Structure 1
Amino acid sequence: MPHVASSDGTRIAYSIEGGGPLVVLTTGSLDDGSENAPLATELSRWFRVVNYARRGRGESGDGAQYSVAREIEDVGALIDACGGSAMIYGVSTGGALALEAAATLRSINAIAVYEVPYDLAPETPQQQRGYVTELDRRLLAGQRGDAVALFMELAGSSAEEIAGARGLPVWKSLERIAHTLAYDAEVLGTRQPPLERFARLDQPVLVATGGGIPPFEAAADALADAIPNAQRKVLTAQAHMVDPAVMAAELKAFYDAAISPTASTS
């Protein structure tokens, strides 16, 4: 894979395919970009698509100390290296990162997010603080598998599902990037959307969900209401892992309209 050097010197690995306007894909927790690969292929019929491994994952390097600002610089470095301006798509925690990046980088001209794991419930910040404290404890103790299990528990997996996952071949690869769960927690902050900050976004924004996780739906509604140039879309019958062909069709329509608002989105 090619690499680009971020501002702090960290090498970020990425793939690029297709031609046309640039689209950057950013992924969520416990993934090195592999989950977005089928979507990249679908989108490459119309766009020049960058799919990358976030820092600390896959073939990408890692910095001595994490900050969300460094991850935003990674996105900026990719855009600068591959065209100078881009649209962005983020799934799950990658959606939160995409919004944070767009609030900082003027090189991002349209944003689409899917199932950002925000939660408006008043107890969410306290729950998130407890999760981060226990996550940090397990990671500091070298209990990487237990850190993955903690995240799965937070995401709603049962004890039986977690036990079954521990026996799968993929478990070792999840343990290798378990430390990036702390990065994702920092991206999400309190896990409540920073509506006042995102309300200053002036780019077109698509806020999409699959309709199956009530807290995500309510938070997505709040995001779409707060952002001036946002549209809200529920992709019915889609799970947190969205069908790449379904998402590609939605993104094509949205990005086409963002590039040329008077063009047809059919």
Structure 2
Amino acid sequence: MPRTEADRILKSSRHAIHLTDDLLEPQTPLNRYVLLRTHGRQCERMRRFIGEANASRERLENAVEALRQLMPVDAFRALLKAEGFATTPRTLAERISRNQSSTLIGCDKPGHTIAASQHLIVGVCYEVIDLLEDCSVNPKIFGLLRKVVPSRQVEIAQFMIALDRVKVNWARVLIALTPQSQLADPSIPRTQCAGITANQIEAMESESTDLSKEFRNTAERLGSWDLEFIAVRGYLNRLMDNLKIVRYLAHHFPKQLAQFQGVLETAPRS
């Protein structure tokens, strides 16, 4: 990184004073209880986030599939036209026409990696500094992040922000469970935690890696999902306000009607 660019970031960042300090990491060893408790909470938060997103997405997909089944029915299309629903929102029409299986949350992206510049400011990737600019950050977190490669620094910062846990212990556990190959110096053995065996660390690392990958994939899809949900929910709200359409569905297609109602009963994401 050019000196002028480094100077610009140091001057503009509210964390600059910390970046010019010694950036010491916590001196006390990572406690077994802290490691197990924090890792458990991380996994619990990720599973809950993924589960809630998938449950809502499944209801949405069911409603779209119900519309996909109804649209070829001449009587239903005629009723829609007569009641002023001759056209559907473009977002909804596109979803009805495309393959459902290609949009499921949780599908991994082959070869997906986090891009990060190799440019560092006192050992910290400057993308991380930008990510954490609006967060309250304990300076020790920067000292910890220097122990891993830039791409892992970015991954850890994004992860803590997404779970609203920019905390020293969370950073310590994520770094403790970082694969050896992603350490800034892979030749240095990872710090051992008293009372935790190498096999336990390996199992937690594997669990954390798998859950983190699914969590990121889920989070990346939520932006487009929210837009589609708004379109589908708005359209179904108008349909369900029409007494003739509701009576027709209740008499001829009760299963599809229940799927529509399931979407409407789903609380919108805040």
Tell me if both proteins adopt one fold, taking TM over 0.5 as the criterion.
Answer: no
Q: Which has the higher helix share?
A: 2
Max Rg structure: 2
Q: Which has the higher strand share?
A: 1
Structure with more contact order per residue of length (Cα contacts < 8 Å, sep ≥ 6) = 2
TM-score, normalised with respect to structure 1? 0.21
